[in-house]
A and B are shown apart, each in its own frame.
Chain A
Amino acid sequence: MLRVDHLSLTIGDKPILNDVSFAVAPGEILGIVGESGSGKSMTALSIMQLLPEGSRTAGSLTFGDHAILDADDTLMQDLRGDDMAMIFQEPMTALNPIHTIGAQVSEGMRLHQGLGRDAAEAQAVSLLDRVGLPPAHYPLTRFPHEMSGGQRQRVMIAMACAQEPDLLIADEPTTALDVTLQKQILDLLRSLVDEQGMGLILISHDLAVVADVTDSVLVMRNGQVVDEGATIPTLKALRHPYTAALAEASSHAPDRSALIKKQAKRPTEREPLLKCENLTRDYGGSAGLFGGARSFVRAVDHVDLQIDHGESVGLVGESGCGKSTLARMVLALDKPTGGTVRFQGADLFASNGEALKALRRNIQVVFQDPYASFNPRHRVGRIVAEPLYLEPGLSAADKQKRVADALQDVGLDSDASDRYPHEFSGGQRQRIAIARALVTRPALLVADEPVSALDVSIRAQIMDLLVKLQISHSIAMLFISHDLGVVRAMCDRVLVMDGGQIVERGAVDAVFDTPKSEAAKRLVAATPNLKLSLNRTASKSSGQAA
């Protein structure tokens, strides 16, 4: 159905794709994996002819009987609406916020199939029902902002499937979603392919997702296809060193034996490093200008939490379960409605002035997004030095020394100080964020999804770095993530949060191998696991063969 032959692409003078060839048959799911900048999204945009200004393509792209590269705008518009469709990573920005979902889903049908308003709306209802948004709960009059990220992504899929396209391209459709939603979306895509016999190109950086869903796979690097074949054999054989490196990185576990040994030798202290008791946080709903019932949301509900010196504790849960609110209270960024946070024996919210500064010195944070967490107008030296505000009386020379030490700890040259954050790559920026957190030599590091935004190979490096720093600096860590694999590799204990409460806690292996609570079971079942998928799918296909 789709044939790509020797496709090359340059934008300006920059080569983007080089000699890319593959084919997609009806009913086939092709996975394209690779890291940022490998050209996987650009391949998709070439097929849709949605390339940026100044792009030059060579080679050939055939879709059905059409030579896409020679197609004019009118033909492409017809093809794009009717025969091929695309869904994007960010469902927040891909829907028009001022139109209802009904209008957006039915628009294409009215335009391309010439349906009347009523017929189109009737069809929109059945489509939304198919993607798991039954009209009784999700009427057509809803606006995108009234829906969650996962629901919006389903609306996107409904829009894309409205014309029953022959080819659907999904560019990282689940990267912005948590694991349980990811599983729902992937299952939905799979069933649509089975029922409608369309071809699907699934672009992902996650090998486990690709192994779970796709029939064949294309591994891309620097604009070239380095490895390809049927998914399971390719990912099992790992013939190409780059595929092997990706596979290693995506199930990477840092060596924590030294850390565990050191932890065992540590004398038990009377008081834990952090102790939260009955911690509760309500957000007041709108009371309304003219009175009315005051509703509130309980984001965190009577949570008890304890972290010992040098210990690594994971905090997992679906989006909106309250894990970030809990972290904000531990960081004293948000006052609890009830309960106490004791850190190093002192009540965090009863302290102020110098005492609070001394406590804050010992709790630092690393955020998820290495692009948003720096003031773009400050140089790295100033960024890393910021927490030293908590240590008044430090001379300029001392500060400089501390910044240089912190940068060295995270593996950056000290001349990084003079540059701006935008001059660094994502992984380097996350190193800078870690340096900022380490500069006050904290006892507790709160890491809020610190590796979720990174490519797998960079993720492995940052995980190694965090463990190395925990060993050398004796830092305890509260590690927040929706990725159970990363938590298992990084933590001793894990807490599972659901609806503001901690519903399960224990050693990571115990919780993840034999989950007891519903929330933990859900998470474990939804988490893609490369090894398991390979075995499961292999046994399934051998079963079919027999």
Chain B
Amino acid sequence: MTAQASTPHQPLRSRSHTFWLQARSNRSFMTGIAITASVVAMALISFAWTPYDVLELDIASKLQSPSLSHWFGTDHFGRDILSMIMVGARNSIAVALVAVVIGIGVGVPLGCWAASRGGLMGEALMRGNDLIFAFPALLSAVIITAIFGPGAINAIIAIGIFNIPVFARLARGATLSLLTREFVLAARVAGKGSVRIIAEHILPNMANLLVVQGTIAFALGILQEAGLAYVGLGTQPPFPSWGKMLNEAQTMMSFAPHMAIVPGLAIVVTVLGLNLLGDGLRDILDPRLSKARE
């Protein structure tokens, strides 16, 4: 036997170059990024331009079906639904995204810390986590908004706090199982401390879990924002959000179905795009999976 790798030698490429090479051949990643990019682009464009002013009421043309002048129709105040979707994207995406960032940013370090430290402190931390987990997001949002007043920012904080224990548990479980692996022992033999081991060995190996959970939490965040808007605790009128549009449409479903279908589709397509993006990223970032696919 010659001591050489069985695969033919490939020229060394830069990391970002290999990433894009793999990304291009990954169909779900490309579809996901296309959808997500268009939603984000739509939200960005809305800062500069919308077909109509979303705050302008035009009772004369209320509840119109989709037409050439109003592509997605109008609502019961005569506002243009396409414009509302564009502006609503800003709120929905911002709330869900920041809430996921809060969840990962606070939850993952807590979970890793609890797992690597163990003992009474780790246990206490996880039980505190359970306490937060026991409150539904909506309930904690009600508490927070009751204290600080309603609004998009408080909705973000409420949903973000709800995300913390989700990510903390995930991170703790993954860390506990990874800590027993021999490559972690090897790193300890190399004199590395727990913070460095978590950064170099634990986090990269739980990245795929985090990406998947992150896209789920993002999708849930959009729905939770919608729920908060419904009870009047999220985005405040007159500013639109997808969830609020959906809820306003429910009494008019029978004679103006487009009012529910359009924001519903917007949520479905965005969530789908994110899930595809998450799946694709997970495959590309995992060297074993990317090899198996070739």
Contact = CB atoms under 8 A, between A and B. Distances in A.
Interface of A: 331, 333, 356-357, 360, 363-365, 367, 369, 372-378, 383, 386-390, 410-413, 415-416, 418-420, 422-425, 427-428, 431, 436, 457-458, 461
A373 B186 CA distance: 7
A386 B1 contact: no
Looking at A377, A378, A415, A457, which has the most chain B CB atoms within 10 Å of its CB? A377
Interface in B231-255: none
A360 B190 contact: yes
A372 B182 contact: yes
A389 B191 contact: yes
Contacts of A418: 10, 12
A375 B192 contact: no
A387 B183 contact: no
Given A373-B185, A410-B3, A412-B3, 13 more contacts: A331-B189, A333-B185, A356-B191, A365-B186, A367-B186, A373-B182, A378-B200, A386-B186, A388-B190, A390-B190, A416-B5, A419-B7, A436-B186
Nearest to B196: A389
Interface in B4-54: 4-7, 9-10, 12
A295 B9 CA distance: 56
Please name the 9 residue pairs, one residue from A and one from B, whose CB atoms are nearest each other, closest first: A373-B182, A411-B3, A387-B190, A377-B204, A367-B182, A420-B287, A375-B183, A372-B182, A386-B190
Given A411-B3, A425-B6, A386 B187 contact: yes
Interface of B: 1, 3-7, 9-10, 12, 181-183, 185-192, 200-201, 204-205, 286-288, 291
Given A375-B201, A377-B204, A411-B3, A360 B189 contact: yes
Given A372-B183, A418-B12, A422-B291, A365 B3 contact: no
A333 B188 contact: yes
Contact of A372 (B3, B9, B181): B181
Contacts, number: 90
Nearest to B201: A375
B205 A377 contact: yes
Contacts of A457: 1
Nearest to A387: B190
Given A360-B191, A364-B189, A376 B205 contact: yes
Given A374-B183, A377-B205, A411-B3, A387 B291 contact: no
Contacts of A374: 183, 186
B205 A375 contact: yes
Contacts of B189: 331, 333, 360, 363-365, 387
A413 B7 CA distance: 13
